Structure 1
Amino acid sequence: MNTRHDLGDLGENVVYVKPVSVSDLPEEVQEQAGDLTTLFAVHDAEGQQLALVANRTLAYQLARQHDMVPVTVH
């Protein structure tokens, strides 16, 4: 079941982390990704991308270092 949720309802410091296929990114970013096939994007509740990192662990660490609460979305 796919249910839409407003992440803003979870609090103002919530960010969401989602996997992104490197092949879907601009060529310049693909070149920087090296051998990786998936990167992880960190977005705010409005959908603004805040960061793009190599793995989920790093995405969560980054969010927590900036006093944000990371949640995973698919």
Structure 2
Amino acid sequence: MNESREARETTVLKGLSPADWASFGREQIAYIRPVVVDGVKAVAIHSADGTPIGAAPTADLAIAAIIQNEMEPVLVH
């Protein structure tokens, strides 16, 4: 019985498009990365799929904003 379930799950997972995979975590995870805007250092905030959702002057403030919006922050190197 487990093998049948695993086979169905495998079939479903193999049918996912790159866009489907990119959307996982989109509303739960946000990443930050340093940027320069008009010559000023800042920290960009993006959803897991790469959509820009905000910016902050420091990493600490960016992380606080992410947590305040009930998302999990991660740092992209």
Bin the TM-score by the shorter chain. 0.5 to 0.7
The residue number in structure 1 matching 2:32 is 17
Look at both structures and tell me which one has the larger radius of gyration over its CA atoms: 2
1:6-62 CA distances to partner (integer Å, 9 max, x unpaired)? 7755x440100000023xxxxxxx2xxxxx731000000111100011000000000
More helix by share: 2
TM-score (norm 2): 0.62
In structure 1, what is the equivalent of residue 62 of structure 2? 59
Give the unaligned 5+ runs of structure 2. Answer: 1-20
- Partner secondary structure for residue 63 of structure 1: helix
Paired residues in the alignment total 56
Determine which structure has greater relative contact order: mean sequence separation of CA pairs < 8 Å that are 6+ residues apart, divided by chain length. Answer: 1
Cα RMSD of the aligned pairs, angstroms, is 2.0
Matches within 5 A, 1:13-52: 13-22=28-37, 30=38, 37-52=40-55
